[in-house]
Structure 1
Amino acid sequence: MQQIILPELEQLRKQTDFIINNKDILENKDIEKYLRDLEKIRYEIFNKIKINNKEKMNENEKINYINNSYKATLVNDILKIYIPETLPKFKNISNYAYKNIMISTAECVKKYSGLFKENLTFVLIIVHEKQCNMDIDNKYVKPIIDALVLQNIIKDDNINNMFYLAQGKNDTKKPFTEVFVMNGEYITGWIEKVQKMF
């Protein structure tokens, strides 16, 4: 397996050496490019590990990596999804971060296909980070919603089929994201009460 990912590691080493050797003249755009490239390399390595693991019959020969930690459970008609990383910010979004979160989330929820297909669905997204001034409105939630549509858990992501709320919490050293998917009736009544107050 190590031989398979050597090209990516070599590419990462060259880019890291460039950043270190030119630290005095770097601009923000150089660092942003490095971070995008880092995310691309991470995605490519994860893909190779995923393919490697599918080919291995013996569990002990499989490589454990972050995508193995995505989990989905259903309790009292509420689907809980655990994402072992935080969501990217709009500013720092890369196709690779989006793809990895979407594909890994879709993979862990596929057995719940059709669960909320006919109902207005509410999605609660809680991002846990060690950051007291997190701007939750800057978090990119689209990969989660797209994964739910991809696996037919919700019919579509338009206003007739779903709505969501995102909350940020400064309560952990190791960032992660929780998602709770449920029938919209859990919250539409409360929303109507708030509207009637005015």
Structure 2
Amino acid sequence: MPRVPGVPTRSAGLLGRLAYRYARRRFGAVPEPLTVLMHHPGAAAASIVAELAAERALRHLPESLRDLVTYRVATTVGCSWCVDFGTMLMRHAGLDVERLRELDAYPTSPLFTDLERRALAYADAATAQPMTVTDEMVAALDAELGHRGLVELTSVIALENHRARFNHALGITDQGFTSGDACRIPVPADAAIGAGVTARG
């Protein structure tokens, strides 16, 4: 259970109700981070706009590369919700999720291309505290991806850092998207806030 309870549908206002309905239709359940964000409608609106804009705009790089670095950031930060949700999205996109088991061995594993290895190392360096990105890393990726690709890769990494750190800090954990049982953590019922009892909103 998150450190801050989610906002139930009845209390979520027009934006929340619309967002919950859209999410339920698209993903089969309302993502728990969204229900927590609805405590601050302005922050929720900003997040929704940013996510939708990023989804439409960040399409220069191959989807598999974007998803791979996103997953790496999620595991590095320790966001189990992001790992769960990201795995579901990759599976739905028809990507190879089995090789994720070898992700920690990416520097030497034959399951990853040279570009993927460089991108994953960059994701690690950009996520580290303090960051350990080097001029050489950036130059190598820029030479292969171009300025546009490098900026997109960096944006994807930064966006996932934002998501993962928000969720991890507020104790939002995996929701069951990978297992197909996402509705085990549905939108909280109005009378159940803080009581650990849930309803399907």
TM-score, structure 2 as length reference: 0.25
Larger Rg: 1
Higher relative contact order (CA 8 A, sep 6+): 2
The structure with the largest helix share of the pair is 2
The structure with the largest strand share of the pair is 1
TM-score, structure 1 as length reference: 0.26
